[in-house]
Amino acid sequence: MNAGYLRGPDPIPVEHIDAITRHKLRKLLKYALATATVGSVLMLMAGRIDVTVVGAWALLGAWTGVLEEFLFGRRFRSLAIPLQLLGKALAVNLLTLGLLLLAYKLDRGHELPYSSDNGLLGSRSFYVLMLQVALVTTMSILVVQVEEFMGRRFFLGFLLGWYDKPRIGERIVLAIDLVGSSALNERLGDLLYYRFLNTTHSLMTEAVLRHGAEIHKYVGDEVIFTWHMKDGLRDDHCIALFFDIQDRIEANKQEMLRMFGASPQFRGGLHGGRVITAQVGHIKRSIDLSGDVMNSTSRVQTMCKEQRENLMITGDLLGRMPTARERYSIGEPLPMRVKGGKRILQVYAVKKISVPALIPQLDPALPTAH
């Protein structure tokens, strides 16, 4: 048995379990912090602060995260964003109310907070509490939704003003795009093609978590991943992500064919170096990456298409990955002129030579075609 796998009839990579567990714990922590923060602001506005109550708000946030992660799942994904927010807030508050009523019924011998001699439902304080709970949970759900929409790094950067001035750092960029996307869009139609892309992106989730990538943006059928340089170089994560996505898609190929009559295939370009991260725009603001690395990555993608390869990497980045040649088959160097410049980069085709990873089958909760 290979190292890194659990014993049993259905071996699962240990890294997979660790990555998913970390993701779920981070989500619970996000809800706890968001709820505690909103609750603290509410108490400050009321002119009082109580550490015990702040802890209670944090527990409410963790409870909200548990419901979101383990109960709601993808049940609200098909709704518009405002309806998702409303549905989740309503469900959390109803379940919280039910929990309070159950606790009161099971433990009538002890007075619950905000209860009165007339009983829990006869107390004005109880309704004030539930109004506060509804407000705080709704705001925390909104904060977490926005954070997931923007990405953790950009969300924190926006709040703390990190990117008001351009920041320079070394990053790795992997850009992948769908092969034959135009023909596929024409064959499936716009709506079914959207569902096809959404399901494909869902299949990437576990691989992204395993390899610590950040999703910079989706541009049509293209997805751009980034890492801080040291994170992407560690264990060749920037290369491994591409082949992990391929394995995941291959493991679910028959299901994709059944749902859409097609299975996705991607080509990718990899480059790394100095990147400028800054807030751009005035009417509509966003935090974007710019610099020669972004332009060169796009050029590597074009080269990949011309050479009919699945993945190509620049020699500059490959030279910083001493173990890559042991794990992957590296092709011969090919010259590539950078757009708008005289500099020539060497690029290499990369192929996987290791045993494919064991990937679980398509989650039945993923969006399906109708």
The helix/strand count (H/E) of the chain reads as 13, 9
Q: What is the pTM of this model?
A: 0.73
| SS3 category, 142 | helix
Separation between Cα atoms, residue 182 and residue 103, nearest integer Å: 57
Q: What pLDDT is recorded for position 74?
A: 66
CB of 238 closer than 8 Å to CB of 272: yes
CATH code, domain carrying 180: 3.30.70.1230
CB of 152 closer than 8 Å to CB of 29: no
Containing structural domain, residue 122:
14-150
If asked whether residues 114 and 175 sit together in one domain, one would say no
Report H helices in 151-225: 152-160, 181-188, 190-210
Judge whether 175 lies within some domain: yes
Judge whether 171 lies within some domain: yes
* CA-based nearest residue to 90, from 55, 64, 69, 113: 64
Q: What percent of the chain lies above the pLDDT cut of 70? A: 81
Tell me the average pLDDT across 287-299.
Answer: 88
Q: Inform me whether the pLDDT recorded for 122 exceeds 70.
A: no
Judge whether 116 lies within some domain: yes
Separation between Cα atoms, residue 325 and residue 52, nearest integer Å: 56
Look at 46-60, 94-108, 240-254 and tell me which has the smallest mean pLDDT.
94-108
If asked whether residues 235 and 344 sit together in one domain, one would say yes
If asked whether residues 137 and 193 sit together in one domain, one would say no
Domain count, the chain: 2
Read off the pLDDT of residues 7-38 as tens digits, 9 standing for 90 and up: 333 443 444 456 677 777 888 888 899 898 88
Per-chain mean pLDDT for the chain: 81
Judge whether 105 lies within some domain: yes
Last residue of a domain, which of 93, 122, 150?
150
Q: Inform me whether the pLDDT recorded for 356 exceeds 50.
A: no
What kind and span of H or E run contains 11?
none
If asked whether residues 166 and 137 sit together in one domain, one would say no
Tell me the average pLDDT across 90-102.
Answer: 80
CB of 102 closer than 8 Å to CB of 111: no
